[in-house]
C-alpha cells in the first residue's frame, strides 16, 4: 500500500487528492479530502486535509504519511504577494540603471490590463514600487553584452551600499546587474559581500533566478523571489516539522509554474517558481490525461479552468503544454519559465450589472465573500452562479453535494432588479448574462489561440474547476469545437490537486546567449555540460535516481532583424557545423509553423539568444488513465428525475431535462441532451443535440458533432 498525495491550497479550501496504489495490479483508488484553508498558518489546513483523505481511505494520517509521497501546490508565495505581506527587500543594481523597476518600460506595463483600464488614460497610474527608492542602490560596475568587464566591481562602494541596506532593516536582498547573463562574476561577488556583511539575509542573484536577456523582467523576477523568499522559508520549515511529526520522512515536493515538481529546498531558494503553480497544475493533469489515455481523442487540447473569479486558459499542442517565458504580477512583468496559463476575469462570481443601458458581466467578481446572492452570505449583486440557479442549471438543494442550500428567490430578485431598466425579467436577465459570459470566455480562448498561432477548430476542450462542466459545452459550441471533456467527472472540481499528484519532477536550467550566425559550435559546446550537470545535481538532491533522469536540450533563436524568439529542441552530443545547421533548420520550420509561410527573413542571418536544459524524472509509477473511478450503485437507475431548465438561446420557456446522478453512470454509459449530470462537486450540462459518454477514465466526454 502506497499513497501519492497531492495538496492544493486555495483561498477558501485546501484540496487533498490521495491516490492509493497497491502491488496486486488493481487500479489506484482515489479519495478527495477537503478542509478549510487556515491563513496565515496554511500548514494547519494542509494537515487537516491530509487527515480527511486518510480517513476516507480508512487509514490513520500517520499510516498514510509513512507510506506516502507528498506533492504540494504551494500558494504561500502567491498569497504573500496578493496581500502585500512580503519581506522588506533591498535591490543592488548597476549604477545608472537602478530606476529600471520604476520606469517599467513605460506603456509595456499596461499590456495585460483590461481594455477599459488601458483606454481610460486619466485613471492610469503605476503600482507602488516593489522596492522603494531608498532601498535601491546603484553599484559601480559594468559588464558589456559580449561579457567583457567594462568597469570592474567597486567593492568599497558596494560594501557601503550593502551596509546602508542592512542598517535600514532589509530582510532580503535582490541583486540584478546589467548583462549578468553574459558574465555573472559581479553578481556572484556581490552575493559573497552580502553574506560577509549579513550572513542571515535571504539573497538571490538574477543570473541564477532568471538568466534571460532583458534587465527589467529579470530584475522583477529577482525582486519577486526576494519578496517571498523569507515567508516561503518560514512556511516550508513549519510544514516540514508538522509532516515529520506525523511520520513523513521523504522530501516534500513542490509544484512549480514550469509544470513539474521541485524539492522544497529548491522552492525555498527560488520561490518565484511557485507563483502561479496552481493553474499550471490543472494543465499538467489535463496533459497527463490527454497523453496517457487520449481522453476525448485529441492531442490538441484547450483547458478551461473555471473558478469563482477567473477563467484560466491553457493550451496543449500535440500533447505538450504550451510554455511562455514571462509571467506578470499586476503591472509587473517578469521572466520565469512557465506554462502559458492566462487568467481572464470571468467565473461563477462574475457580477452582472446594467451599465448605461447595456447588460455587462464581469470582470469584477463577488469572490467567495460576499459571494453570489444565492449563497446568502451578504452578496447583493447578482452573479453568474445566481443566473445558473435561476435558469435551473444548478440544483439549489444539491450544491456542493447539498452542503450549501441556495436561495433561489434572492437570486431572482437581484437579477430582476438589474434587468428592470432594460425591460428584462429575472429569467431573461439570467439567460442574457449566461450567454454573454459564455461568449466572453469563448472570445478570450479564441484570442489566446490566435495569439499562439493556432486554429481553434483543431482542438478539443477540457473543462474543469467548479464551472468547467457548466460552461464547457456552450464555450465549445461558440468556438466550433466538437468535443468537450470534463476530466474524471467529480475530480474536475479539485483538478489542480489531482494535477499535482500526476506531475513529474522537472528542473530547468537556462543561460542567455548573444551569438550571431554562423554560430560557433565551440561556444555552444561550452555551455551544455554545465547546464546538464546543474540539472542533474538538483534532481539527485530531489531524491531522483540518476538513471531515471531524462534530459532535453532547447535553444532559443530569432532572425537577426526580427524580434520573435522561438524555442526549439536542440540536438544532443557535441556540436559541429552540421549540428548547428540542423538547429537553424529546426528553427526555420518551427518559425514558419508559428508565424506563417515566408514570414522569416533569413538573408540577414540568425541570432542564438538562449540555451536551456530540462530534466524530468517520474517520481511514481502512477498511470493516470488507470485510476479507479466511481461507479458505485452502477445498477441503480442513473436518472434521478427531470427538471425544468431555461435553455438560454432557445427562448425563455423552460424545457424539461433529465437529471443524472453522476456516480451511477458507469463506464460506457451515455446521456443524451438536454440533460444535467450531477456529482457532489461538479455539474455537467449536456445541451440539446449533444451526447455525453463516460469513458474508461471516468471522464465525461460530450460529443457536439450533431450541433448545428
Site for other proteins in 523-562 (CB under 8 A): 558-559, 561-562
Q: End-to-end CA distance of the chain, in Å?
A: 50
119 binds other proteins (CB under 8 A): yes
Residues in 29-58 at the binding interface with other proteins, rule: CB under 8 A:
none
Distance of alpha carbon 661 from its chain centroid, rounded? 31
**Residue whose grid cell is 437529471:** 659
Residue 215 burial by CB count (10 A; 0-12/13-18/19+): exposed, middle or buried? buried
179 binds other proteins (CB under 8 A): yes
142 binds other proteins (CB under 8 A): yes
Instruction: Quote the crossing angle between the two packed helices 215-245 and 42-57, to the nearest 10°.
Output: 50
Pick from 387, 425, 429, 422: which is nearest to 408 by CA? 387
154 binds other proteins (CB under 8 A): yes
Q: Output DSSP code: residue 322.
A: -
Report residue 365 as a C-alpha cell.
467578481
Residues in 604-633 at the binding interface with other proteins, rule: CB under 8 A:
604
102 binds other proteins (CB under 8 A): yes
Q: Please report how close the Cβ of residue 419 comes to other proteins at its closest, in angstroms.
A: 10
Residues in 448-487 at the binding interface with other proteins, rule: CB under 8 A:
450-451, 453
| DSSP output for 122-184 | GG---PPPSS-GGGEEEES-EE-TTS-EEE---HHHHHHHHHHHHHTT-SEEEEE-TTTTT--
- Out of 84, 116, 547, 705, the only residue in the binding site for other proteins (CB under 8 A) is 116
Rg (CA), the chain: 26
**Would you say 312 and 464 are in contact if contact means Cβ atoms under 8 Å apart?**
no
Nearer to other proteins, 270 or 424 (CB): 424
Query: Interface mask (CB under 8 A) for other proteins, residues 480-519, using x and -?
Result: ----------------------------------x-----
82 binds other proteins (CB under 8 A): no
**Would you say 223 and 131 are in contact if contact means Cβ atoms under 8 Å apart?**
yes
708 binds other proteins (CB under 8 A): no
128 binds other proteins (CB under 8 A): no
Distance of alpha carbon 65 from its chain centroid, rounded? 27
- Out of 25, 169, 199, 598, the only residue in the binding site for other proteins (CB under 8 A) is 598
Nearer to other proteins, 109 or 536 (CB): 109
Nearer to other proteins, 63 or 588 (CB): 588
Nearer to other proteins, 286 or 393 (CB): 393
150 binds other proteins (CB under 8 A): yes
Backbone angles phi, psi at 544, to 5 degrees: -90, 140
Pick from 612, 478, 619, 502: which is nearest to 555 by CA? 612
Q: Please report how close the Cβ of residue 100 comes to other proteins at its closest, in angstroms.
A: 8
Pick from 252, 613, 311, 617: which is nearest to 466 by CA? 311
- Out of 125, 199, 249, 545, the only residue in the binding site for other proteins (CB under 8 A) is 125
146 binds other proteins (CB under 8 A): yes
Residues in 323-382 at the binding interface with other proteins, rule: CB under 8 A:
356, 358-360
Of 6-14, 98-106, 275-283, 309-317, the window that binds other proteins (rule: CB under 8 A) is 98-106
636 binds other proteins (CB under 8 A): no
Nearer to other proteins, 333 or 661 (CB): 333
Of 70-78, 104-112, 309-317, 537-545, the window that binds other proteins (rule: CB under 8 A) is 104-112
Q: Please report how close the Cβ of residue 348 comes to other proteins at its closest, in angstroms.
A: 19
Nearer to other proteins, 44 or 350 (CB): 350
520 binds other proteins (CB under 8 A): no
Of 243-251, 300-308, 365-373, 435-443, the window that binds other proteins (rule: CB under 8 A) is 435-443
**Would you say 553 and 586 are in contact if contact means Cβ atoms under 8 Å apart?**
no
439 binds other proteins (CB under 8 A): yes
| DSSP output for 614-669 | EEEE-SS---GGG-----TTTTS-SEEEEEEE--TTS-SS-EEEEEEEGGG--TT-
Q: Please report how close the Cβ of residue 40 comes to other proteins at its closest, in angstroms.
A: 31
Nearer to other proteins, 193 or 617 (CB): 193
Size of the site for other proteins (CB under 8 A): 82
**Would you say 602 and 589 are in contact if contact means Cβ atoms under 8 Å apart?**
no
697 contact partners, CB below 8 Å, separation of at least 6: 289, 293, 295, 487, 488, 624, 625, 627, 629
- Out of 23, 24, 106, 199, the only residue in the binding site for other proteins (CB under 8 A) is 106
Residues in 248-307 at the binding interface with other proteins, rule: CB under 8 A:
none
Nearer to other proteins, 261 or 461 (CB): 461
168 binds other proteins (CB under 8 A): no
Residues in 199-238 at the binding interface with other proteins, rule: CB under 8 A:
213-217
Of 136-144, 240-248, 454-462, 679-687, the window that binds other proteins (rule: CB under 8 A) is 136-144
Backbone angles phi, psi at 510, to 5 degrees: -140, 160
**Would you say 647 and 663 are in contact if contact means Cβ atoms under 8 Å apart?**
no
| DSSP output for 373-432 | GGGTSS--S-BHHHHHHHTTSS-TTSBGGGTB---HHHHHHHHHHHHGGGT--HHHHHHH
Nearer to other proteins, 261 or 387 (CB): 387
Of 78-86, 95-103, 242-250, 693-701, the window that binds other proteins (rule: CB under 8 A) is 95-103
SS3 301: strand
Pick from 509, 497, 535, 493: which is nearest to 681 by CA? 493
Q: Output DSSP code: residue 457.
A: G
Of 111-119, 272-280, 464-472, 634-642, the window that binds other proteins (rule: CB under 8 A) is 111-119
Report residue 591 as a C-alpha cell.
518559425
69 binds other proteins (CB under 8 A): no
CA–CA separation, 559 and 607 (whole Å): 6
133 binds other proteins (CB under 8 A): yes
160 binds other proteins (CB under 8 A): no
Amino acid at each position: 500500500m502506497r499513497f501519492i498525495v497531492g495538496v492544493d491550497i486555495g483561498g477558501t479550501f485546501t484540496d487533498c487528492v490521495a491516490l492509493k496504489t497497491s502491488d496486486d495490479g488493481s487500479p489506484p483508488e482515489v479519495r478527495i479530502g477537503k478542509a478549510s484553508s487556515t491563513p496565515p498558518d496554511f500548514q494547519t489546513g494542509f494537515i487537516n486535509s491530509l487527515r480527511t483523505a486518510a480517513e476516507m481511505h480508512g487509514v490513520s494520517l500517520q499510516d498514510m504519511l509513512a507510506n506516502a509521497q507528498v506533492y504540494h501546490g504551494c500558494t504561500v508565495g502567491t498569497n504573500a504577494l496578493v496581500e502585500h505581506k512580503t519581506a522588506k527587500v533591498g535591490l543592488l543594481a548597476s549604477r545608472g540603471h537602478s530606476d529600471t523597476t520604476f520606469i517599467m518600460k513605460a506603456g509595456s506595463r499596461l499590456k495585460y490590463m483590461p481594455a477599459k483600464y488601458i483606454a481610460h488614460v486619466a485613471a492610469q497610474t503605476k503600482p507602488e514600487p516593489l522596492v522603494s527608492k531608498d532601498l535601491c542602490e546603484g553599484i559601480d560596475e559594468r559588464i558589456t553584452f559580449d561579457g567583457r568587464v567594462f568597469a570592474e566591481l567597486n567593492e568599497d562602494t558596494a560594501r557601503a551600499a550593502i551596509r546602508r541596506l542592512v542598517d535600514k532593516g532589509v530582510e532580503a536582498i535582490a541583486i540584478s546587474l546589467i548583462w549578468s547573463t553574459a558574465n555573472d562574476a559581479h553578481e556572484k561577488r556581490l552575493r559573497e559581500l552580502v553574506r560577509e556583511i549579513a550572513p542571515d539575509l535571504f539573497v538571490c542573484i538574477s543570473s541564477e533566478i532568471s538568466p534571460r536577456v532583458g534587465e527589467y523582467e529579470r530584475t522583477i523576477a529577482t525582486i519577486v523571489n526576494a519578496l517571498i523568499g523569507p515567508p516561503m522559508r518560514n512556511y516550508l520549515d513549519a510544514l516540514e516539522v508538522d509532516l515529520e511529526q506525523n511520520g513523513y520522512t521523504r522530501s516534500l515536493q513542490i509544484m512549480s509554474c514550469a509544470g513539474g515538481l521541485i524539492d522544497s529546498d529548491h522552492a525555498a531558494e527560488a520561490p518565484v517558481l511557485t507563483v502561479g503553480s496552481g493553474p499550471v497544475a490543472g494543465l499538467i493533469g489535463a496533459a497527463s490525461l490527454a497523453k496517457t489515455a487520449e481522453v476525448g481523442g485529441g492531442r490538441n487540447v484547450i483547458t478551461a479552468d473555471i473558478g469563482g473569479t477567473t477563467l484560466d486558459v491553457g493550451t496543449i499542442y500535440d500533447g505538450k503544454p504550451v510554455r511562455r517565458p514571462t509571467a506578470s504580477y499586476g503591472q509587473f512583468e517578469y521572466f520565469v519559465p512557465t506554462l502559458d496559463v492566462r487568467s481572464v476575469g470571468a467565473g461563477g462570481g462574475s457580477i452582472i450589472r446594467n451599465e448605461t443601458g447595456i447588460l455587462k458581466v464581469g470582470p469584477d467578481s463577488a469572490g467567495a465573500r460576499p459571494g453570489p446572492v444565492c449563497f446568502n452570505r451578504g452578496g447583493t449583486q447578482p452573479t453568474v452562479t445566481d443566473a445558473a440557479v435561476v435558469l435551473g442549471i444548478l440544483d439549489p438543494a444539491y450544491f456542493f453535494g447539498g452542503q450549501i442550500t441556495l436561495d433561489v428567490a434572492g437570486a431572482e430578485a437581484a437579477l430582476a432588479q438589474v434587468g428592470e431598466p432594460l425591460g428584462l425579467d429575472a429569467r431573461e436577465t439570467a439567460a442574457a448574462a449566461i450567454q454573454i459570459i459564455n461568449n466572453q470566455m469563448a472570445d478570450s480562448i479564441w484570442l489566446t489561440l490566435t495569439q499562439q498561432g493556432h486554429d481553434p477548430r483543431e482542438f478539443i476542450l477540457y473543462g474543469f474547476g467548479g464551472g468547467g462542466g457548466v460552461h464547457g459545452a456552450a464555450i465549445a459550441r461558440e468556438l466550433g469545437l466538437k468535443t468537450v471533456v470534463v476530466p474524471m467527472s467529480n475530480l474536475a472540481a479539485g483538478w489542480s490537486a489531482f494535477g499535482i499528484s500526476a506531475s513529474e519532477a522537472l528542473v530547468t536550467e537556462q543561460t542567455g546567449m548573444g551569438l550571431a550566425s554562423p554560430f560557433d559550435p565551440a561556444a555552444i559546446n561550452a555551455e551544455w555540460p554545465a547546464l546538464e550537470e546543474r540539472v542533474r545535481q538538483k534532481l539527485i538532491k530531489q531524491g531522483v535516481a540518476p538513471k531515471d533522469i531524462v534530459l532535453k536540450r532547447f535553444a532559443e533563436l530569432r532572425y537577426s532583424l526580427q524580434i520573435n524568439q522561438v524555442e526549439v529542441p536542440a540536438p544532443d552530443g557535441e556540436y559541429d557545423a552540421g549540428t548547428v545547421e540542423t538547429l537553424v533548420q529546426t528553427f526555420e520550420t518551427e518559425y514558419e509553423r508559428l508565424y506563417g509561410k515566408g514570414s522569416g527573413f533569413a538573408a540577414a542571418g540568425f541570432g542564438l539568444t538562449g540555451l536551456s536544459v530540462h530534466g524530468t524524472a517520474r517520481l511514481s509509477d502512477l498511470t493516470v488513465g488507470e485510476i479507479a473511478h466511481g461507479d458505485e450503485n452502477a445498477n441503480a437507475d442513473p436518472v434521478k428525475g427531470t427538471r425544468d431548465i431555461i435553455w438560454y438561446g432557445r427562448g425563455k420557456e423552460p424545457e424539461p431535462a433529465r437529471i443524472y446522478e453522476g456516480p451511477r453512470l458507469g463506464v460506457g454509459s451515455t446521456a443524451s441532451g438536454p440533460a444535467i449530470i450531477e456529482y457532489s462537486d461538479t455539474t455537467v450540462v449536456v445541451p440539446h443535440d449533444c451526447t455525453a459518454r463516460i469513458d474508461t477514465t471516468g471522464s465525461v466526454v460530450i460529443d457536439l458533432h450533431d450541433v448545428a
